[in-house]
Amino acid sequence: MTIPDPARTIERSRFRHVLGHFPTGVTAITSLDDNGKPVGMAVGSFTSVSLDPPLVAFLPDRSSTTFPIVRENGRFCVNVLSSRQHAVCRALSRRGPDKFSDISWSPTATGLPRITDALAWIDCRIDAVHEAGDHYIAIGRVDALELDAIEDPLIFFQGGYRAFGPADALG
């Protein structure tokens, strides 16, 4: 029996539609460029990797214009967005030079942009970057982290933003 090559049989639109039924949290990955200006991107593919040592990962698109700046800096901050931060997500999702024009932030101890009103922030240094199809897997070693608020996180599900809170929990 010959197994079909999935790369040839699965259409991009079908892949996105099916995987869109898996909810993802929305984070903002921030860093600084060579001039000390903030850069950032919205990311739905963020995960914890290891407790010992503490590692996290996110998966930027290989066509990203922001990730090369983050990679060159060698440090990034993960900002876990709240359900009230749709505008931050949209601003960081667009292409262009001044994504931070309407985003309030303060520096972490290492100077990275920590977005105001984010639920949590995780200050990291790049530990490894791996190629994976049309994306990279960027692994970060966690140097500092803090939970700033207990609110509903911003969730992306079935093509739209949603909130998920304690009242929604089962059991």
What pLDDT tens digit does each residue of the chain (171 aa) get? 666 666 567 888 888 778 676 678 899 999 999 999 999 999 999 999 999 999 999 999 999 999 999 999 999 999 999 999 999 999 999 887 789 999 999 999 999 999 999 999 999 999 999 999 999 999 999 999 999 888 889 888 777 777 766 655 555
Contact 103, 91 (CB under 8 A): yes
Domains of the chain: 23-159 (2.30.110.10)
The rounded distance, in Å, linking the Cα atoms of 31 and 43 is: 14
Nearest to 41 by CA among 130, 103, 83, 84: 103
Angle (nearest 5°) at CA 149 between 144 and 153: 100
Q: Which residue has the tokens 């200050």?
A: 123
